[in-house]
Structure 1
Amino acid sequence: MNNPQNEQNPQNSGKNPPAINLPPVVTALVLFMVLLHFSANLILTDQSLYRFFLTFGFAPVRLQYAPEMPGGVGALFWTPFTHGFLHADWMHLTFNMLWLAVFGTPISRRYGPLGFAVVFGLGLIGGVIGYMLVHHNTTGILIGASGAVSALMGGALRFMYQPLLKEIDEETGEVRILGRRLASPSELVKDQRAVGFTVVWMGVNLLFGLFPQLMGMEGANVAWEAHIAGFVAGFFAVAWLERRLF
Structure 2
Amino acid sequence: MFPIRDHNPSGQTPFVTFALIAINILVFLGYFLSLDEYQLGEFFWTWGLIPARFLSGDGLETILTSMFLHGGWLHLAGNMLFLWIYGDNLEEEMGHFGFLLFYLACGIAAGLAQALPDPGSVVPMVGASGAIAGVMGGYLLLFPKAKVDVLFIFIIFFRIFAIPAWIVLSIWLAIQIFSGVSTPGDLGGVAYWAHVGGFVAGLALTLPVWLRRGAQEFWQRTDGHPPHPETQFEAARSNVPLVRRRR
TM-score range, shorter chain: 0.5 to 0.7
Aligned match for 1:228, one of 196, 204, 218? 196
Q: Does 1:32 align with 2:23?
A: yes
SS of structure 2 residue aligned to 1:209:
helix
Q: How many residues align?
A: 189
Q: Does 1:127 align with 2:110?
A: yes
Q: Is the 8 A contact 2:144 2:166 kept in 1?
A: no
Is the alpha carbon distance of 1:207 and 1:243 closer, same or farther for their aligned partners in structure 2, counting shifts above 3 Å? closer
1:10-53 superposed Cα distances (whole Å, 9 cap, x missing partner) = 6xxxxxxxxxxx62221121121111111201222222222221
Q: Is the 8 A contact 2:52 2:122 kept in 1?
A: yes
**TM-align CA RMSD:** 2.9
Residue 79 of structure 2 corresponds to 96
TM (norm. structure 2) is 0.68
1:76-109 superposed Cα distances (whole Å, 9 cap, x missing partner) = 1x11111100000000000000001011111111
Is the alpha carbon distance of 1:202 and 1:90 closer, same or farther for their aligned partners in structure 2, counting shifts above 3 Å? same
Any gaps of 5 or more consecutive residues in structure 2? 1-8, 147-163, 213-247
Aligned identity (percent) is 30
SS of structure 2 residue aligned to 1:134:
coil
Aligned-partner residue type, residue 177 of structure 2: L
Structure with the higher helix share, 1 or 2: 1
Residue 239 of structure 2 corresponds to none
Is the alpha carbon distance of 1:205 and 1:40 closer, same or farther for their aligned partners in structure 2, counting shifts above 3 Å? same
Q: Is the 8 A contact 1:124 1:230 kept in 2?
A: yes
Is the alpha carbon distance of 1:195 and 1:111 closer, same or farther for their aligned partners in structure 2, counting shifts above 3 Å? closer
Residue 222 of structure 2 corresponds to none
Displacement after TM superposition at 1:241 (Å): 4.7
Q: Which moved more, 1:57-66 or 1:153-162?
A: 57-66
TM (norm. structure 1) is 0.68
Aligned match for 2:11, one of 5, 9, 12? 9
SS of structure 2 residue aligned to 1:138:
coil
Aligned-partner residue type, residue 32 of structure 2: N
Aligned-partner residue type, residue 237 of structure 1: L
Residue 208 of structure 1 corresponds to 179
Residue 54 of structure 1 corresponds to 45
Q: Is the 8 A contact 1:155 1:237 kept in 2?
A: yes
1:135-180 superposed Cα distances (whole Å, 9 cap, x missing partner) = 21111111100110000000111111368xxxxxxxxxxxxxxxxx
**Structure-2 separation of matches of 1:64 and 1:199:** 31
**Structure-1 separation of matches of 2:99 and 2:197:** 18
Larger Rg: 1
Any gaps of 5 or more consecutive residues in structure 1? 1-6, 11-21, 67-72, 164-192
**Structure-2 separation of matches of 1:131 and 1:153:** 18
Q: Is the 8 A contact 1:211 1:219 kept in 2?
A: no
Is the alpha carbon distance of 1:153 and 1:37 closer, same or farther for their aligned partners in structure 2, counting shifts above 3 Å? same
Aligned-partner residue type, residue 124 of structure 1: G
Displacement after TM superposition at 1:8 (Å): 3.8
Give matches, 1:37-116, under 5 Å: 37-63=28-54, 73=58, 75-76=59-60, 78-116=61-99
**Structure-2 separation of matches of 1:91 and 1:123:** 22
Displacement after TM superposition at 1:194 (Å): 6.3
Is the alpha carbon distance of 1:101 and 1:219 closer, same or farther for their aligned partners in structure 2, counting shifts above 3 Å? farther
Displacement after TM superposition at 1:65 (Å): 5.7
Q: Is the 8 A contact 2:10 2:88 kept in 1?
A: no
